[in-house]
Structure 1
């Protein structure tokens, strides 16, 4: 006698639930993206905002509960320390480097063809390490050194994050309306890649 295939635990839906868990995760990532964009507006809060995004997504995955705005705000408050706010000065510096890089591309200065790609790669590497650092759990929360070590120990994961950063940049350039949502997928990518690290 054949039995009808039963849905796996991941595919089950609660009574009255219209969409499955995959759509719930998609909605969580979008909500986290919007909340992170709002939290990044003061600029110096960007590291704390991404750390809160990663913590909220991790907690949602661990407990099977949807992300709530209040949960995200709670994680954000926990990460808003003086040290983290000081680290928040790094994103404007990276933006300045990108502006210098763009100026070099348009100039005819000697060596610009070499310096410009190097600056672009260094900026991309710094963004990957930053994402890795914000996705760390205690006791390594927001540790740039630990983020760098894990990136070196897991080059494949670093390349995946670099691809996510480049894809986000292309989407922001081609479809500017998507920009407020992009921090969500970036935080999700960093959170998913983190457990792959041999240092974990």
Structure 2
């Protein structure tokens, strides 16, 4: 028989519901922090770091999120943001060219979408790695290795992105909260990879 979930004094709903509320508040904080666009990788990486700390009984609050983010806006983080913007613009331009009716456009569109899915998976897995807090190149190398060695985890990342996009498309206000559950999914995939390794 399982024990009743432990509740802190003043806690109304229990730890799971509290974590859900914290994830949503971190999602909103991540959205606000990503508005300059150039800060989006650092914002998502910080969200993953905060949610990763839950397993060590660290608080997953918006206050802790902003405290960690203040130390994140260094040149490497801004460069990651510039590369993310450039990659997004390149993908948009490629898809626009593919839709222009050029010869071989269908094959080109399939190849472009495949490369985009792989690049997106590597980038998101890099955000979920602890190394992204201080060293983006190391995080990207490790994420590329994880993407190849853990295809199930990569599929889970793409499924999380598709779910987030579908939620945002179905109900626009959810778009402001979606980064929190996405970061939780990325942290979960990273945790799954770590436990599989041990």
TM class by shorter-chain length?
0.7 to 0.9
After the TM superposition, which residues 129-140 of structure 1 pair with which residues of structure 2 at under 5 Å, given as runs?
129-138=122-131
Q: Which runs of 5+ in 2 are unaligned?
A: none
* 8 Å Cα contact 1:150/1:199 also seen in 2: no
Alpha-carbon offset, residue 199 of structure 1: 6.2
Distance of 1:14 and 1:68 partners within structure 2 = 16
Q: CA deviation at 1:128?
A: 1.4
Of the structure 1 ranges 87-96 and 107-116, higher mean CA displacement relative to structure 2 is found in 87-96
How far is the alpha carbon of 1:15 from its aligned partner?
Answer: 4.2
Distance in 2 (CA, whole Å) between partners of 1:100 and 1:170 is 23
Secondary structure of residue in 1 paired with 2:71: helix
Say whether 1:33 aligns with 2:33.
Answer: no
* 33-42 vs 131-140, which moves further: 131-140
Q: Is the 8 A contact 1:97 1:119 kept in 2?
A: no
2:121 paired with 1:107? no
Contact 1:51 1:79 survives alignment (8 Å)? no
Equivalent residue for 2:48, pick from 54, 63, 66: 54
Runs of 4+ deviating beyond 3 Å: 138-142
For structure 1, the residue ranges without an aligned partner over 5 or more in a row are none
**1:154 touches 1:196 (CA, 8 Å); kept in 2?**
no
In 2, Cα distance between the equivalents of 1:156 and 1:6? Answer: 31
Conserved? CA contact 1:161–1:190, under 8 Å: yes
1:121 matches 2:117: no
Task: Give the number of aligned pairs.
Answer: 193
Max radius of gyration: which structure?
A: 1
Aligned partner of 2:62 in structure 1 is 69
- State the partner residue of 1:86: 79
Superimposed CA distance per residue, residues 78-110 of structure 1 (whole angstroms, 9 cap, x where no aligned partner): 322211211111221232134224424532111
CA spacing shift, 1:98–1:173, aligned 2, 3 Å: farther
TM-score (norm 2): 0.87
Structure with greater proportional helix content: 2
Equivalent-residue separation in structure 2 for 1:92 and 1:6 (angstroms): 48
Change (3 A) 1:77 1:155: same
Measured against aligned partners, the alpha-carbon deviations of 1:21-70 in whole angstroms (never above 9, x if no partner) come to 111111111011101111111111111101110111122332163x2222
